[in-house]
Amino acid sequence: MVFDEFANARHNMIRRHILTVVAKSYPRPVDSELLRATLATLGYPMEAHALEFYVSYLQEKECLKVETKMAYGITLITITARGIDAMDGRLRDCGIEC
């Protein structure tokens, strides 16, 4: 039980970090690889598919906008106004630690 709580808190923290990193370049996008590298430097190293998991979650919550160029393996991630609201604590309904 304790471990589940810990894992949940970690997930929330990662999602919060994702929003913080992407918000720095608002309204411009951030490359997914750059985001992954930045998260690693912040102490959250993860594989590309793990990042995809978090990004997809936030995309469904309409906190992020994702543009993919499949042929080139490029993913551009932009934060939305809703994402900024969630990060700043004006929205409470998302799974991030606000």
Partner 1 sequence: MRNRVLGGRAASQDKRSSIAAAFGGGQDQTAKRRMSEKQRARDLAYRVWVQCGQNFSETERKLKRDCELPVTRQTLMAWAEKYGWKGRAARTEAEMQNQQTAIMEGALVAALARQKERYEKYFDELGVGKIDNQACYAFCGLVKTMISVKRQPGLQPESALQGGAEDPKTEVHAKVISGDEERVSAIEGLIDLWLGKVLADPEKVNAGLFREIRGALAIIEEIRGKAAAWSESAEKIVEASTAAEAPQPGDALQGGAEEQKRVIIAGPEDAKAALWEAFSRMIAAMLANPEKIKVSEIERAQAYLAKMTEAAAPQAEEEAGSLEQKESSLDPYELVPKKGPDGQELDPGLRRGDGLIQEIDHPEEAEVLTDIGLWTEEEAISALQDFVGKQLALMRKESGAAKASQVKVVKEAMELIEELRKKTKPADDGQKKKGLSTEMAEELREKLLRGENT
Judged by the rule CB under 8 A, the positions of this chain that interact with partner 1 are 1-3, 21, 24-25, 28-31, 33-34, 36-38, 40-42, 45-47, 67, 69, 72-74, 76, 78
Asked if residues 23 and 77 have their Cβ atoms less than 8 Å apart, the reply is no
Smallest separation (angstroms) from partner 1 to the CB of 48 = 9
DSSP per residue over 10-72, as a string? HHHHHHHHHHHHHHTTTTS-EEHHHHHHHHHHTT----HHHHHHHHHHHHHTTSEEEEEETTT
Of 12 and 78, the one with the shorter C-beta distance to partner 1 is 78
CA distance 12 to 95: 6
Of 40 and 81, the one with the shorter C-beta distance to partner 1 is 40
Smallest separation (angstroms) from partner 1 to the CB of 69 = 6
Of 72 and 93, the one with the shorter C-beta distance to partner 1 is 72
Smallest separation (angstroms) from partner 1 to the CB of 94 = 22
**Phi/psi at 77 (5° precision):** -120, 125
Smallest separation (angstroms) from partner 1 to the CB of 85 = 21
